[in-house]
Amino acid sequence: MIIQATPYGTKKEEPFAFTYSGDFTDERVDGIGDVTLNTSGQLVTTGKTVTVSVYILGAGGGAAYNSYRRAASGGGGGNQTVEVTLEPGTYEIIIGTGGAAVSAQYDKATGGSGGNTTAFGKTSTGGTGGFVNYSGGSPSYTGGSGGSPNGSAGTTGTSNNASGGSPNGGAVISGVARNGGNGLVRITFS
């Protein structure tokens, strides 16, 4: 019978582990899958170094609507996917907040812009809010612009509806302007 001795001074490698001070959802099974960071906080990692795919989404802009039935939705948040090497340490995560919707009784309304999301040295900007105006008999209405990179602009309409820019821009639905959606950071472990 052969017994192999462990070399002096070596120890078994610790598995990857993390804590997060904000709200998050962990959908991993046996360490594989997604962790979504839903609010700002500190990510503290311990153990071994891992390489992960990270989706960074800025918040959407808020929609605007007025009593002349001009609807302008907010732009979608900027979004990108990056590869990140997570070494043991502390990482500050900032999650953008969706822009507020605005409804005007008469002519002019501008929806709020969404906040930026920043993680691992990358920022996805928030989309802007839609704008409507019907003063002096010359109507104008413009959907919010999408955040950078990859956010889509919001749509407009002379009706009670306008679709929000993708992803997570605030829409106008049945004459009700909606807030933009919040940003997030999704970390995929493989």
* Other Cβ atoms closer than 10 A to 58: 37
**How is 154-189 classified by DSSP, letter by letter?**
PPEESSS-BPPPTTT---EETTEE-PPPP-EEEEEE
Give the pLDDT confidence of 117-144 residue by residue, as tens digits.
999 999 999 999 999 987 767 788 999 9
* Other Cβ atoms closer than 10 A to 122: 15
Domain boundaries, the chain: 18-189
Residue 49 reports pLDDT greater than 90: yes
- Half-sphere exposure for 170 (CA within 13 Å, toward CB): 36
Residue 4 reports pLDDT greater than 70: no
Q: How far apart are CA 75 and CA 20, in angstroms?
A: 29
Q: The pTM is what?
A: 0.89
